[in-house]
Protein backbone atom coordinates (compact mmCIF):
# COMPACT_ATOMS: atom_id res chain seq x y z
CA UNK A 1 0.00 0.00 0.00
CA UNK A 2 3.02 2.23 0.55
CA UNK A 3 3.00 5.12 -1.86
CA UNK A 4 -0.47 4.49 -3.24
CA UNK A 5 -2.22 7.80 -3.82
CA UNK A 6 -5.63 8.39 -2.29
CA UNK A 7 -5.98 5.18 -0.25
CA UNK A 8 -9.63 4.47 0.49
CA UNK A 9 -11.02 3.73 3.93
CA UNK A 10 -14.28 3.16 5.73
CA UNK A 11 -15.17 5.31 8.73
CA UNK A 12 -16.98 2.74 10.86
CA UNK A 13 -20.58 1.67 11.07
CA UNK A 14 -22.79 -0.23 8.64
CA UNK A 15 -26.44 -1.15 9.13
CA UNK A 16 -26.95 -4.31 11.17
CA UNK A 17 -27.56 -7.45 9.12
CA UNK A 18 -31.30 -8.24 9.37
CA UNK A 19 -30.67 -11.96 9.99
CA UNK A 20 -28.35 -11.06 12.88
CA UNK A 21 -31.01 -8.87 14.49
CA UNK A 22 -33.75 -11.48 14.01
CA UNK A 23 -31.56 -14.19 15.49
CA UNK A 24 -30.45 -12.18 18.52
CA UNK A 25 -33.95 -10.84 19.20
CA UNK A 26 -35.54 -14.29 19.10
CA UNK A 27 -37.59 -13.47 16.04
CA UNK A 28 -38.33 -15.73 13.10
CA UNK A 29 -35.66 -15.61 10.41
CA UNK A 30 -37.74 -14.46 7.45
CA UNK A 31 -37.30 -15.23 3.78
CA UNK A 32 -36.13 -11.65 3.28
CA UNK A 33 -33.45 -12.19 5.96
CA UNK A 34 -32.21 -15.23 4.05
CA UNK A 35 -32.39 -13.35 0.78
CA UNK A 36 -30.24 -10.57 2.29
CA UNK A 37 -27.61 -13.09 3.29
CA UNK A 38 -27.65 -14.85 -0.10
CA UNK A 39 -27.54 -11.63 -2.08
CA UNK A 40 -24.49 -10.25 -0.33
CA UNK A 41 -22.75 -13.63 -0.34
CA UNK A 42 -23.01 -13.49 -4.14
CA UNK A 43 -21.60 -9.96 -4.21
CA UNK A 44 -18.91 -10.27 -1.56
CA UNK A 45 -17.80 -13.87 -1.79
CA UNK A 46 -18.40 -14.41 1.94
CA UNK A 47 -17.21 -17.98 2.41
CA UNK A 48 -19.15 -18.91 5.50
CA UNK A 49 -22.66 -19.00 4.04
CA UNK A 50 -23.44 -22.63 4.87
CA UNK A 51 -22.16 -22.30 8.44
CA UNK A 52 -24.24 -19.16 8.88
CA UNK A 53 -27.39 -20.80 7.48
CA UNK A 54 -26.88 -23.80 9.70
CA UNK A 55 -26.55 -21.66 12.81
CA UNK A 56 -29.56 -19.52 11.90
CA UNK A 57 -31.66 -22.67 11.59
CA UNK A 58 -30.50 -24.08 14.92
CA UNK A 59 -31.23 -23.41 18.58
CA UNK A 60 -30.42 -19.95 19.88
CA UNK A 61 -28.02 -20.89 22.62
CA UNK A 62 -25.51 -18.43 24.03
CA UNK A 63 -22.80 -20.18 22.05
CA UNK A 64 -24.82 -20.01 18.83
CA UNK A 65 -25.45 -16.30 19.37
CA UNK A 66 -21.76 -15.70 19.90
CA UNK A 67 -20.95 -17.59 16.70
CA UNK A 68 -23.58 -15.70 14.69
CA UNK A 69 -22.18 -12.42 15.99
CA UNK A 70 -18.73 -13.46 14.85
CA UNK A 71 -20.05 -14.44 11.43
CA UNK A 72 -21.81 -11.07 11.14
CA UNK A 73 -18.44 -9.39 11.69
CA UNK A 74 -16.84 -11.52 9.00
CA UNK A 75 -19.77 -10.92 6.65
CA UNK A 76 -19.29 -7.13 7.01
CA UNK A 77 -15.56 -7.41 6.41
CA UNK A 78 -16.16 -9.17 3.09
CA UNK A 79 -18.94 -6.69 2.23
CA UNK A 80 -16.56 -3.77 2.70
CA UNK A 81 -13.70 -5.51 0.90
CA UNK A 82 -15.94 -6.22 -2.07
CA UNK A 83 -16.28 -2.48 -2.68
CA UNK A 84 -12.52 -2.25 -3.22
CA UNK A 85 -11.68 -0.25 -0.07
CA UNK A 86 -8.05 -0.40 1.05
CA UNK A 87 -8.80 -0.22 4.80
CA UNK A 88 -11.78 -1.93 6.41
CA UNK A 89 -13.23 -3.07 9.73
CA UNK A 90 -16.41 -5.00 10.52
CA UNK A 91 -19.02 -2.27 10.22
CA UNK A 92 -19.27 -2.28 14.03
CA UNK A 93 -21.53 -5.28 13.55
CA UNK A 94 -21.59 -6.18 17.23
CA UNK A 95 -21.63 -2.78 18.85
CA UNK A 96 -25.04 -1.67 20.09
CA UNK A 97 -24.17 1.85 19.04
CA UNK A 98 -21.02 3.98 19.28
CA UNK A 99 -21.92 5.48 22.70
CA UNK A 100 -23.77 2.65 24.38
CA UNK A 101 -21.20 -0.02 23.55
CA UNK A 102 -18.27 1.47 25.49
CA UNK A 103 -20.48 2.77 28.29
CA UNK A 104 -22.25 -0.56 28.88
CA UNK A 105 -18.89 -2.34 28.94
CA UNK A 106 -17.16 0.01 31.38
CA UNK A 107 -17.57 0.65 35.09
CA UNK A 108 -19.07 3.76 36.65
CA UNK A 109 -22.07 4.35 34.37
CA UNK A 110 -25.79 3.90 34.83
CA UNK A 111 -28.52 4.51 32.25
CA UNK A 112 -31.35 6.72 33.55
CA UNK A 113 -33.60 6.81 30.48
CA UNK A 114 -34.19 8.48 27.14
CA UNK A 115 -33.43 12.06 26.18
CA UNK A 116 -34.71 13.83 23.10
CA UNK A 117 -32.28 14.37 20.26
CA UNK A 118 -34.76 16.19 18.02
CA UNK A 119 -38.46 16.06 17.12
CA UNK A 120 -39.65 12.59 18.16
CA UNK A 121 -36.18 11.02 18.18
CA UNK A 122 -34.60 9.98 21.46
CA UNK A 123 -31.36 8.41 22.65
CA UNK A 124 -30.42 6.56 25.82
CA UNK A 125 -28.18 8.65 28.02
CA UNK A 126 -26.12 7.34 30.91
CA UNK A 127 -24.89 9.09 34.01
CA UNK A 128 -21.46 8.64 35.44
CA UNK A 129 -22.37 7.58 38.99
CA UNK A 130 -19.00 6.29 40.19
CA UNK A 131 -15.36 6.57 39.28
CA UNK A 132 -15.11 5.27 35.74
CA UNK A 133 -13.12 2.12 35.20
CA UNK A 134 -11.97 -0.53 32.77
CA UNK A 135 -14.01 -3.72 32.89
CA UNK A 136 -12.79 -5.53 29.81
CA UNK A 137 -11.16 -4.78 26.45
CA UNK A 138 -14.50 -4.28 24.77
CA UNK A 139 -13.22 -4.21 21.20
CA UNK A 140 -10.78 -7.08 21.43
CA UNK A 141 -12.97 -9.99 20.32
CA UNK A 142 -14.17 -8.18 17.21
CA UNK A 143 -10.63 -7.06 16.40
CA UNK A 144 -9.28 -10.61 16.65
CA UNK A 145 -12.04 -11.80 14.33
CA UNK A 146 -11.30 -9.08 11.80
CA UNK A 147 -7.55 -9.62 12.07
CA UNK A 148 -7.92 -13.29 11.31
CA UNK A 149 -10.29 -12.81 8.41
CA UNK A 150 -9.57 -9.51 6.63
CA UNK A 151 -7.52 -9.42 3.45
CA UNK A 152 -7.19 -5.64 3.40
CA UNK A 153 -5.65 -3.19 5.84
CA UNK A 154 -7.40 -2.80 9.17
CA UNK A 155 -8.35 0.38 10.99
CA UNK A 156 -10.13 0.00 14.35
CA UNK A 157 -12.65 2.72 15.20
CA UNK A 158 -13.07 3.53 18.91
CA UNK A 159 -15.30 6.14 20.52
CA UNK A 160 -13.10 8.83 22.02
CA UNK A 161 -13.03 9.91 25.66
CA UNK A 162 -14.38 13.41 25.09
CA UNK A 163 -17.48 12.16 23.28
CA UNK A 164 -18.18 9.49 25.90
CA UNK A 165 -18.06 12.11 28.65
CA UNK A 166 -19.88 14.84 26.73
CA UNK A 167 -22.78 12.49 25.96
CA UNK A 168 -23.11 11.41 29.60
CA UNK A 169 -24.37 13.15 32.71
CA UNK A 170 -21.59 13.87 35.13
CA UNK A 171 -22.81 12.98 38.62
CA UNK A 172 -19.83 11.40 40.31
CA UNK A 173 -17.12 13.95 39.53
CA UNK A 174 -19.37 16.95 40.10
CA UNK A 175 -20.58 15.59 43.43
CA UNK A 176 -17.03 14.84 44.51
CA UNK A 177 -15.88 18.40 43.78
CA UNK A 178 -18.97 20.23 45.04
CA UNK A 179 -17.56 21.04 48.51
CA UNK A 180 -14.54 22.72 46.92
CA UNK A 181 -16.43 25.20 44.76
CA UNK A 182 -18.98 27.93 45.34
CA UNK A 183 -18.95 29.01 41.69
CA UNK A 184 -21.07 26.43 39.87
CA UNK A 185 -19.74 27.35 36.44
CA UNK A 186 -16.20 26.62 37.57
CA UNK A 187 -17.37 23.49 39.39
CA UNK A 188 -18.95 22.07 36.24
CA UNK A 189 -15.90 22.89 34.18
CA UNK A 190 -13.44 21.25 36.55
CA UNK A 191 -15.69 18.22 37.12
CA UNK A 192 -15.98 17.76 33.37
CA UNK A 193 -12.21 17.89 33.05
CA UNK A 194 -11.72 15.19 35.68
CA UNK A 195 -14.40 13.05 34.04
CA UNK A 196 -12.95 13.30 30.52
CA UNK A 197 -9.40 12.62 31.66
CA UNK A 198 -10.48 9.65 33.76
CA UNK A 199 -12.32 8.18 30.76
CA UNK A 200 -9.11 8.66 28.78
CA UNK A 201 -6.83 7.10 31.40
CA UNK A 202 -9.06 4.46 32.94
CA UNK A 203 -11.12 3.26 29.96
CA UNK A 204 -9.69 4.25 26.60
CA UNK A 205 -5.99 3.77 27.27
CA UNK A 206 -6.28 0.15 28.54
CA UNK A 207 -8.49 -0.64 25.56
CA UNK A 208 -5.91 0.79 23.17
CA UNK A 209 -3.12 -1.12 24.91
CA UNK A 210 -5.06 -4.37 24.59
CA UNK A 211 -5.69 -3.79 20.88
CA UNK A 212 -2.08 -2.87 20.14
CA UNK A 213 -0.82 -5.83 22.17
CA UNK A 214 -2.82 -8.07 19.82
CA UNK A 215 -1.49 -6.39 16.71
CA UNK A 216 -3.70 -3.38 15.94
CA UNK A 217 -1.63 -0.96 13.88
CA UNK A 218 -4.17 1.81 13.19
CA UNK A 219 -6.84 3.07 15.58
CA UNK A 220 -9.30 5.83 14.78
CA UNK A 221 -10.81 7.96 17.56
CA UNK A 222 -14.42 8.86 16.78
CA UNK A 223 -15.07 12.24 18.40
CA UNK A 224 -18.28 13.70 16.93
CA UNK A 225 -18.95 15.72 20.10
CA UNK A 226 -15.67 17.56 20.07
CA UNK A 227 -16.95 20.90 18.78
CA UNK A 228 -20.16 20.96 20.84
CA UNK A 229 -18.49 23.20 23.40
CA UNK A 230 -15.77 25.08 21.53
CA UNK A 231 -14.03 26.20 24.71
CA UNK A 232 -13.46 22.53 25.58
CA UNK A 233 -11.47 21.63 22.45
CA UNK A 234 -8.23 21.87 24.50
CA UNK A 235 -9.72 19.31 26.88
CA UNK A 236 -10.30 16.92 23.98
CA UNK A 237 -6.65 17.41 22.97
CA UNK A 238 -5.46 16.72 26.50
CA UNK A 239 -7.60 13.57 26.69
CA UNK A 240 -6.38 12.28 23.32
CA UNK A 241 -2.76 12.79 24.33
CA UNK A 242 -3.38 11.14 27.69
CA UNK A 243 -4.98 8.13 25.99
CA UNK A 244 -2.30 7.55 23.38
CA UNK A 245 1.00 8.67 24.94
CA UNK A 246 3.75 6.15 24.37
CA UNK A 247 1.55 3.65 22.51
CA UNK A 248 3.17 2.49 19.30
CA UNK A 249 0.36 2.63 16.77
CA UNK A 250 -0.99 4.91 14.06
CA UNK A 251 -3.80 7.06 15.48
CA UNK A 252 -6.31 9.21 13.66
CA UNK A 253 -9.35 11.26 14.68
CA UNK A 254 -12.74 11.38 12.96
CA UNK A 255 -14.86 14.51 13.44
CA UNK A 256 -18.00 15.45 11.54
CA UNK A 257 -20.78 18.04 11.10
CA UNK A 258 -18.78 20.78 12.76
CA UNK A 259 -17.23 24.11 12.13
CA UNK A 260 -13.61 22.94 11.98
CA UNK A 261 -12.32 26.46 12.65
CA UNK A 262 -12.98 25.98 16.36
CA UNK A 263 -10.51 23.07 16.39
CA UNK A 264 -7.61 25.35 15.59
CA UNK A 265 -5.06 26.12 16.84
CA UNK A 266 -5.65 23.62 19.66
CA UNK A 267 -5.48 20.42 17.61
CA UNK A 268 -2.01 21.20 16.40
CA UNK A 269 -1.11 20.02 19.92
CA UNK A 270 -2.42 16.48 19.26
CA UNK A 271 0.85 14.62 19.68
CA UNK A 272 0.19 11.16 18.34
CA UNK A 273 -2.36 11.82 15.62
CA UNK A 274 -1.43 11.10 12.01
CA UNK A 275 -4.72 11.88 10.34
CA UNK A 276 -7.89 13.93 10.64
CA UNK A 277 -10.83 12.20 8.94
CA UNK A 278 -13.47 14.85 8.33
CA UNK A 279 -16.95 15.13 6.84
CA UNK A 280 -17.19 17.45 3.85
CA UNK A 281 -19.59 16.02 1.27
CA UNK A 282 -22.67 16.83 3.36
CA UNK A 283 -21.89 20.54 3.20
CA UNK A 284 -20.75 20.50 -0.39
CA UNK A 285 -23.91 20.17 -2.46
CA UNK A 286 -23.75 18.49 -5.83
CA UNK A 287 -21.87 21.12 -7.80
CA UNK A 288 -20.07 23.60 -5.61
CA UNK A 289 -16.79 22.41 -4.26
CA UNK A 290 -16.78 24.01 -0.87
CA UNK A 291 -14.06 22.04 0.85
CA UNK A 292 -12.69 25.40 1.88
CA UNK A 293 -12.05 24.55 5.51
CA UNK A 294 -9.26 22.26 4.35
CA UNK A 295 -7.30 25.45 4.01
CA UNK A 296 -7.14 25.55 7.82
CA UNK A 297 -4.44 22.89 7.60
CA UNK A 298 -2.34 25.22 5.43
CA UNK A 299 -3.09 28.20 7.62
CA UNK A 300 -1.92 26.41 10.77
CA UNK A 301 0.95 24.55 9.11
CA UNK A 302 -0.72 21.25 9.94
CA UNK A 303 0.95 18.56 7.82
CA UNK A 304 -1.10 15.58 8.91
CA UNK A 305 -2.95 13.30 6.52
CA UNK A 306 -6.53 14.17 5.81
CA UNK A 307 -9.33 11.62 5.57
CA UNK A 308 -11.48 13.35 3.00
CA UNK A 309 -15.25 12.84 3.31
CA UNK A 310 -16.44 12.49 -0.29
CA UNK A 311 -19.84 10.80 0.05
CA UNK A 312 -22.75 12.07 2.10
CA UNK A 313 -24.05 9.37 4.45
CA UNK A 314 -27.35 11.15 5.07
CA UNK A 315 -28.81 10.93 1.58
CA UNK A 316 -29.60 8.01 -0.70
CA UNK A 317 -28.40 9.71 -3.87
CA UNK A 318 -25.22 7.94 -4.89
CA UNK A 319 -22.47 10.35 -5.80
CA UNK A 320 -20.96 9.70 -9.23
CA UNK A 321 -17.31 8.62 -9.43
CA UNK A 322 -16.71 11.80 -11.44
CA UNK A 323 -18.01 14.01 -8.62
CA UNK A 324 -15.86 12.10 -6.14
CA UNK A 325 -12.86 12.46 -8.44
CA UNK A 326 -13.45 16.20 -8.65
CA UNK A 327 -13.73 16.51 -4.89
CA UNK A 328 -10.42 14.72 -4.46
CA UNK A 329 -8.73 16.87 -7.10
CA UNK A 330 -10.14 20.00 -5.52
CA UNK A 331 -8.77 18.95 -2.12
CA UNK A 332 -5.43 18.20 -3.75
CA UNK A 333 -5.29 21.74 -5.08
CA UNK A 334 -5.96 23.16 -1.63
CA UNK A 335 -3.52 20.93 0.25
CA UNK A 336 -0.95 20.87 -2.56
CA UNK A 337 0.13 17.38 -1.52
CA UNK A 338 -1.79 14.35 -2.83
CA UNK A 339 0.24 11.98 -0.64
CA UNK A 340 -1.60 13.23 2.43
CA UNK A 341 -5.10 12.51 1.17
CA UNK A 342 -7.09 9.43 2.12
CA UNK A 343 -10.62 9.05 0.81
CA UNK A 344 -13.61 8.02 2.90
CA UNK A 345 -17.34 8.52 3.45
CA UNK A 346 -18.32 11.50 5.61
CA UNK A 347 -19.18 9.22 8.53
CA UNK A 348 -20.44 5.70 9.24
CA UNK A 349 -23.03 4.38 6.80
CA UNK A 350 -25.35 2.74 9.33
CA UNK A 351 -28.35 4.89 8.41
CA UNK A 352 -28.27 3.82 4.75
CA UNK A 353 -29.47 0.52 3.29
CA UNK A 354 -26.92 -2.16 2.37
CA UNK A 355 -27.56 -1.45 -1.31
CA UNK A 356 -26.96 2.29 -0.95
CA UNK A 357 -23.94 1.78 1.30
CA UNK A 358 -22.39 -0.60 -1.21
CA UNK A 359 -23.11 1.65 -4.18
CA UNK A 360 -21.65 4.68 -2.41
CA UNK A 361 -18.48 2.85 -1.42
CA UNK A 362 -18.00 1.40 -4.92
CA UNK A 363 -18.41 4.87 -6.36
CA UNK A 364 -15.91 6.21 -3.84
CA UNK A 365 -13.33 3.59 -4.84
CA UNK A 366 -13.85 4.31 -8.56
CA UNK A 367 -13.64 8.05 -8.02
CA UNK A 368 -10.36 7.63 -6.13
CA UNK A 369 -8.98 5.50 -8.97
CA UNK A 370 -9.98 8.14 -11.54
CA UNK A 371 -8.27 10.85 -9.48
CA UNK A 372 -5.20 8.63 -9.10
CA UNK A 373 -4.90 8.21 -12.86
CA UNK A 374 -5.01 11.95 -13.39
CA UNK A 375 -2.45 12.80 -10.72
CA UNK A 376 0.00 9.92 -11.17
Torsion sign, CA atoms 230, 232, 234, 240: negative
**Least spacing, CB of residue 16 vs another protein, in Å:** 19
Measured at the CA of 353, the angle between CA 278 and CA 362, to 5 degrees, comes to 60
H helix or E strand, kind and range, residue 21: helix 18-24
Q: Is 288 in the site for another protein (CB under 8 A)?
A: no
Contact with another protein (CB under 8 A) among 32, 61, 114, 373: 114
- Residue 160: helix, strand or coil by DSSP? coil
3-state secondary structure of 22: helix
- Closest to 11 (Cα-Cα) out of 376, 257, 322: 257
Query: Which of residues 112, 135, 136, 303 is near another protein by CB under 8 A?
Result: 112
Question: In whole angstroms, what is the distance from residue 367 CA to residue 117 CA?
Answer: 34
Contact map string, positions 124 to 153, toward another protein, x by CB under 8 A: -x-x--------------------------
Q: What's the rounded Cα separation, in Å, for the pair 366 and 232?
A: 39
Q: Which of residues 161-180 bind another protein (CB under 8 A)?
A: 166-167, 169-171, 174-175, 178
* Sole window of 78-86, 228-236, 339-347, 363-371 interacting with another protein (rule: CB under 8 A): 228-236
Helix/strand/coil (H/E/C) assignment for every residue in 73-129:
HHHHHHHHHCCCCCEECCCCCCCCCCCHHHHHCEEEEEEEEEEEEECCEEEEEEEEE
Cis peptide before 359 (omega within 30 of 0): no
Shortest Cβ distance from residue 88 to another protein (Å)?
A: 29
Tell me the C-alpha distance between 349 and 251, whole Å: 21
Strands 218-222 and 250-255: parallel
- Cα–Cα nearest to 164, from 203, 215, 216, 116: 203
Q: ∠ at Cα 126 (167, 226), nearest 5°?
A: 10
- Site residue total, another protein (CB under 8 A): 30
Span interacting with another protein, options 101-109, 202-210, 221-229, 236-244, rule CB under 8 A = 221-229
Query: Interface with another protein includes 122 (CB under 8 A)?
Result: yes
Judged by beta carbon, residue 127 or residue 210, the one nearer another protein is 127
Q: Which is nearer to another protein, 274 or 351 (CB)?
A: 351
Output the smallest distance, CB 118 to another protein, in A: 4
DSSP letter for each residue of 311-371:
E-TT--PPPPHHHHHHHHHHHHHHHS-GGGEEEEESS--TTS-HHHHHHHHHHHHHHHHHH
User: Segment 181-220, which members bind another protein (CB under 8 A)?
Assistant: 182-186, 188
Angle at 358 between CA 355 and CA 359, to 5 degrees: 85
Establish if 282 lies at the interface with another protein (CB under 8 A). Answer: no
Closest contact distance (angstroms) between CB of 341 and another protein is 28
Task: Write down the least CB distance from residue 299 to another protein, Å.
Answer: 22
In angstroms, give the least distance from the CB of 114 to another protein. 6
> Closer to another protein at the Cβ: 248 or 259?
259
x-or-dash pattern for another protein, window 328-357, by CB under 8 A? ------------------------------
Task: Please report how close the Cβ of residue 175 comes to another protein at its closest, in angstroms.
Answer: 6
Which residue's CB is nearer to another protein, number 80 or number 233? 233
Q: What residues make contact with another protein under the rule CB under 8 A? A: 112-120, 122, 125, 127, 166-167, 169-171, 174-175, 178, 182-186, 188, 225, 228-230
Amino acid sequence: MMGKLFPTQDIGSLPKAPWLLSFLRGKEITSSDFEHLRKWVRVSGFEEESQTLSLLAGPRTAEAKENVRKLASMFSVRFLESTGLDYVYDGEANRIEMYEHPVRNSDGFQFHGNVRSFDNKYYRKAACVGKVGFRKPYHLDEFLTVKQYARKGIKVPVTGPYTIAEWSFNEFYQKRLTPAYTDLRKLKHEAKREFVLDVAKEIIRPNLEALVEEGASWIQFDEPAVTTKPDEVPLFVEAFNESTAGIDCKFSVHICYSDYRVLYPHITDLRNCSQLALEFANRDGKKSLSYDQLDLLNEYDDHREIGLGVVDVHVDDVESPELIRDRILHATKILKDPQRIYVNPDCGLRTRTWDIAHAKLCSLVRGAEMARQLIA
